[in-house]
Structure 1
């Protein structure tokens, strides 16, 4: 085994080999890292270890951030998780030494089965749920394995005439983003990720036919939407939004059922539901009803807490509250998200 080598995970062939291997996943993939960095102006780095034959045996990627919230190292920003990719677990000591170097506080979000989660240099700063549905069965067998409530919801949407359109076009991403801004503003009083970030995702994944935007239509009008990404043999559910007044029609269940059927027909092996905060038990319960297996994602910190300034954090909260007030037009809220969202990583 050699020492560590710094590489650009967007373009380096060694990182690509790791990301496409058994330990890789969407949020450590070159297209996802490229989209995040292009959307927010970050420069990524990765540390890679190779064996004596030059074959990569492990790697970890991160972004160094230095903004009004202070300097910090994040592996990786705006990602559900970015586990170290370890073909050989013995690569971890060298990789972690490199990642923890430089004097910056380091944040890593990974599954609790990762060696990083059991490294004494890291402290647990948070925990979230993670769900995945296996697609090895036929769609009929999958449907039968869903909880009865999910099957009823799918039937309700069908009876209500909810139409689902799966699209690989940018126009569908734009239509989804309008729903996304509205949901974040009205339900959570939060700013939304900028449309340019979604554009970068589309540009990164569309060439490999790796993106689908699902829109649920009622009377021809989009009332719910979801954005799904393909990496290797998995379909990832990354973003979802819906109008509250149409929820009795169960458009979200219709979206996910259509996406699961599409993924099964494409020969994908799993449907990744992503991260769910543990203080949202309703969301965790919803994902559990889709014949999914639940795991845990841990947020780990090393090198001390990020050098956050309390006055800056309070200012961001106040500005967010003002810009998500119901009296503020959605287009103003969207422009505010474009200007400020990068500070929330």
Structure 2
């Protein structure tokens, strides 16, 4: 009986398959929907980490979705079983036709987790209702795009414009990639960057799924900066529904003097302007990431706080942060293979 209660939301909410065509139609009608709400992203996560994906939705009398969110059923040896929308995802709040629908959805979601005895973690701010623990986890940075990239370029901070021009004078070139062959050079740069930061590398299976589900079908691309024939920086962008998301930025530190990171960010911005996108989301920055926050704001972005919401269970404790700092020192002081092995063994458990 308990298993049945956990599996099925109350009558006001429904559980649906992640590829339900009603959901695809609904999110396409929502200007705030991003690729993080799209089945392609959810399926990439589920396939790589072995989580069960589904939707929690509220439908009207005609069966049309009026509110909902994608969810992964996460079972972790470190933190137990939780439903998360979505793990390893910067920001994925529920979507609704209007504020009233959103509040109703949040209230019913809270009732569901109480009945099912299962905690829910939402990577977004739920309405201010009882039983929700909202915690600021970092900052987002949003840049409004224009049809004319030259006009946007003229509004950038003088240092940003100077560094982009420097990259081009030094002979760096840009190439946008979406093919399977582009995975390997991106992965090498990403591996170097993760080790330098002292954080585990995502399993290779995640990037295999990401390429197959997202990049190759046209929901994103990688902007590479080349010095001669050598790729020295890359920025992986997710692109859908008018919002461009800078998800993974990677570079070879020995070429930092050429400013390749600025060049690949600008390549993504330029592509977004030329393809009718209205917004660049630079991704989540931790609350203590002052240097990265300054870099993102130097592009003229607007800084906004990011909140996560927890129902039926507490937010992560400070101990999680202490463990993270210890792991950082170990990875940075160890051979490169440790970064990859740590990711293969531990990453799935860190959701």
TM-score, normalising length: structure 1: 0.89
Counterparts in 2 of 1:73-84, with a 5 A limit? 73-84=83-94
Do structure 1's residue 268 and structure 2's residue 277 form an aligned pair?
yes
Residues 95, 102 of structure 2: 8 Å contact kept: no
1:61 Cα shift? 2.3
Counterparts in 2 of 1:33-182, with a 5 A limit? 33-69=42-78, 70-96=80-106, 97-98=108-109, 100-101=113-114, 102-110=116-124, 116-182=126-192
1:280–1:316 Cα change, 3 Å: closer
Q: Hey, which bits of structure 1, 4+ residues long, moved more than 4 A?
A: 312-322
Counterparts in 2 of 1:114-263, with a 5 A limit? 116-186=126-196, 188-263=197-272
Task: Measure the CA separation in 1 of the matches of 2:323 and 2:283.
Answer: 30
Task: Measure the CA separation in 1 of the matches of 2:332 and 2:266.
Answer: 34
Aligned length: 335
* Structure 1: gaps spanning 5 or more residues: none
Do structure 1's residue 334 and structure 2's residue 340 form an aligned pair?
yes
1:24 corresponds to = 33
Residues 47, 59 of structure 1: 8 Å contact kept: yes
80-89 vs 95-104, which moves further? 95-104
1:314–1:144 Cα change, 3 Å: closer
Task: Measure the CA separation in 2 of the matches of 1:313 and 1:71.
Answer: 20
The 3-state SS of whatever aligns with 1:154 is helix
Root-mean-square deviation over aligned CA pairs: 2.5
The 3-state SS of whatever aligns with 1:119 is coil
TM-score, normalising length: structure 2: 0.87
1:67 Cα shift? 2.3
Please give the per-residue CA displacement for 1:173-213, whole angstroms capped at 9, x wherever unaligned: 22111111111112x21111122111111111245322211
Residues 117, 298 of structure 1: 8 Å contact kept: no
Residues 244, 279 of structure 2: 8 Å contact kept: yes
1:307 Cα shift? 9.1
* Structure 2: gaps spanning 5 or more residues: 1-10
2:8 corresponds to = none
1:147–1:117 Cα change, 3 Å: farther
